[in-house]
Chain A
Amino acid sequence: MMLSRTPLFFAAGFLLLVLGLWRVDATPERILDGLGKLGWLVGLMWPPSPGGALGDLLDALAETVAMAFLGTLLAATVALPLSFFGAGNVVASTLLRFTVRRSYDALRGVDSLVWALIFVSAVGMGPFAGILALAVPDIGLLAKVFSEALESADRRQVEGVRAAGGSRLQAIRFGLIPQAAPVMLSQLLYTFESNTRSATILGVVGAGGIGLALGDRIRLNNWDEAAFIVLLILVTVAAIDWASRRIRLKLIRA
C-alpha cells in the first residue's frame, strides 16, 4: 500500500526538475555557448602559474588553516558547556532541552559565508571576521554532536561515581567525560577538516584567507594564477584530510 505512491513521487520529482531547468533558463544554445567559453577559460588556465606571488599565496594559505583551527577551537570552547544543557542524561527538563536543541539547529541553518558577510561588516575585514564566521555555525553543530556523545555514554559509570560518594560535577567529570571524549575529539577533527574547506572561500567577501586572492585573480581575469590557487587549495585540503584521518584512527584505537 505504502509503496504504490512511489511512482507518483518520482513523477513529481521529474516535473520539478523540468521546472528548475526552465527557471534557470537552460537552453541548448546557452549551454553550448557557455561550454565553448568554459573551454577557452580552461585553455587560459594552462599552465597554472603563481604569478610571482608564491610567498604571499603561501601566507594566505597558512592564514586559511589558522582561521579554520581557531574557528574550530572557539566553537568547541563555547559548545562544550552548551552541550550539557542539550543532553538528556544531564538536563532532565524536556522543554529546556527541546528549546536548546532547536537553537543549535538555528545556528547551523545559515552558511558560514553569510556569517562572514555579517562579521566583516561588524568587525572589519580580515581573518578575525573569518574565525567568528566559522565558529558560529559550528557552535550549533558541535553542541549537538557533543550532546549526543554524552547521551550515548553508559549510565553505570556515572552511577558508580555517584555511589562512591561523588558529587554531580564529579560524576560528569569522571563518569561521563572519559567515555565521550574520544567521540568528541574525532568530531572536532571532522569539523576542522570541513572548516578548512569553508575557510578557503571566506576571503571572497573579505574575511581573510586564500579566497581573497582567488576572487581577485578571477575578477582580474588572471586565469592561470586562479588555477594555481585552486591547485594549492586542493593540495592543502588533501593534506589536512590525510593528517586528520591518521589522528582519528589513532584515537579510535587508543
Chain B
Amino acid sequence: MSPTAETVARLWQGEMVARRRRALAWLALFVVAVGVAAQIGQVDLRRLADGLPRAGDYIARTIPTLRIETLGGDFAEWMWGLDIWVGLLLDTVLIAYTGTVLGAFAGLMLSFAAAATLAPRWAVTGARRLLEFARTVPTLVFALIFVYAFGLGPFAGMLAVALHTMGALGKLFAEVHENADLRTVEAVRSAGGSWAQAMRFGVLPQSLPGVLSFGLLRFEINVREASVLGIVGAGGIGEELYLAVRQFEYPDISAIVLLILGTVALIDQLCARLRHRILGAEALRVT
C-alpha cells in the first residue's frame, strides 16, 4: 500500500519541525559560545567602540605625507632605510628558503616511514607522532627556544622554520606517497632491491611532482613566517619592524609592511609559475 498524501504531508511536517528544532539548538549553542568567548576575551562593546577609531587613527598616522610638488623627495624620505630593509628582506627570504629546503628534506626522509602503505605499523605510528609534534609547536616557539641555544641571529630562525616545515611537509608527503602505485615498489623489491631502494626508485619518481609543489607552497608560507621571526631576535626584517612599532616611527611601519607585502607577492608569483611548470611537466609525463 502506498502512503497517502496525508501521511507524506505529516511526515514532511514532522521532519521540518525536527530540522527547525536542530537548527535552533545549534543557534543556541553558538550564541552561548559567543557569550562565553566574549566574557573570557574581555570584549566589551564600549572598549570596542573606542578601540576601533584609535586603530583607524593609528593606521592613518602611518600613511606618509607625499606631496605632488616634492614627490621624489617625500618618497625618498619615506623609504629612507630602503637599502637596509631590502638587505633584511633578502635575509628573510634566504632564511625561509634554507629552512624550507632542509625541513622538506628531513620531512621527506620521515615521510616514507609515515606512509601507511609503505612501512610497518610501528614505524608509521612513531614517525607520525614525531611529525605531529613538529608541526603543532609554532615556528615562533621553536625560535624562542633556539635563540637561547644557538644565540641571537638568523641561524636560530632558519632552524625553527626547518623543524616546523619538517612536521608540516612530512605529513603531506606521506599522503602523496600513499597515493603512489605500489606495483613499481614490488618490481624493485622482486629485482632484489632493498626497502630504501624501493622508496627511491619505486615511490619517489611518482611522488616528486606532488612533493615539489607542496614544498613550493610551504616556501610561500615560510616567507610570511620568517618575516616575524626577528621579533624574538631570530633574524630577518621582523626586528626592524619591531623597533619601528616600539619607537612609534609611524611612516617606517607602513614602509616596512609594504615592502614585506611586495616581497610576499613576488615570491607567491614566482612559486605559482614554478608550480605550473612542475604540474605541466607531470601532465606531459602521464600522457
Contacts and interface: CB of A to CB of B under 8 A. Distances in A.
Interface of A: 2-3, 6, 9, 13, 16-17, 19-21, 23-26, 30-31, 34-35, 37-38, 41, 59, 62-63, 65-67, 69-70, 73, 105-106, 109-111, 113-114, 117-119, 121-124, 126-128, 131-132, 197-198, 200-201, 204-205, 208, 214-215, 218, 226, 230, 233-234, 237-238
A200 B43 CA distance: 18
B249 to A, nearest CB: 11
Best-buried of B95, B246, B261 by chain A (most CB within 10 Å): B261
* B interface, over-half SS: helix
Interface of B: 33-34, 36-43, 47-48, 51, 54-55, 57-59, 91, 94-95, 97-98, 101-102, 133, 136-138, 140-141, 144-146, 148-151, 153-155, 157-158, 224-225, 227-228, 231-232, 235, 238, 241-242, 245-246, 248, 253, 257, 260-261, 264-265, 268, 274, 277, 280-281, 284
B245 A117 contact: yes
23 contacts: A2-B277, A2-B281, A3-B281, A26-B158, A34-B146, A34-B149, A41-B148, A70-B38, A109-B261, A111-B228, A113-B228, A113-B231, A114-B257, A122-B51, A122-B55, A122-B57, A122-B59, A127-B41, A128-B41, A204-B231, A218-B145, A233-B137, A234-B137
Contacts of A238: 136
A121 B59 CA distance: 11
A204 B140 contact: yes
Contact of B241 (A117, A198, A208, A214): A117
A121 B133 contact: no
A20 B149 contact: no
A238 B39 CA distance: 24
Contacts of A237: 136
Given A34-B146, A114-B227, A214-B141, 18 more contacts: A16-B97, A17-B98, A19-B94, A25-B155, A38-B149, A69-B33, A70-B38, A106-B261, A110-B227, A114-B260, A117-B242, A118-B59, A118-B253, A122-B59, A123-B55, A127-B42, A128-B41, A131-B43
Contacts of A110: 224, 227, 257, 260-261, 264
Contacts of B241: 114, 117
Question: Which 7 interchain pairs have the tightest Cβ spacing?
Answer: A20-B98, A122-B58, A34-B150, A66-B37, A66-B41, A66-B40, A38-B149
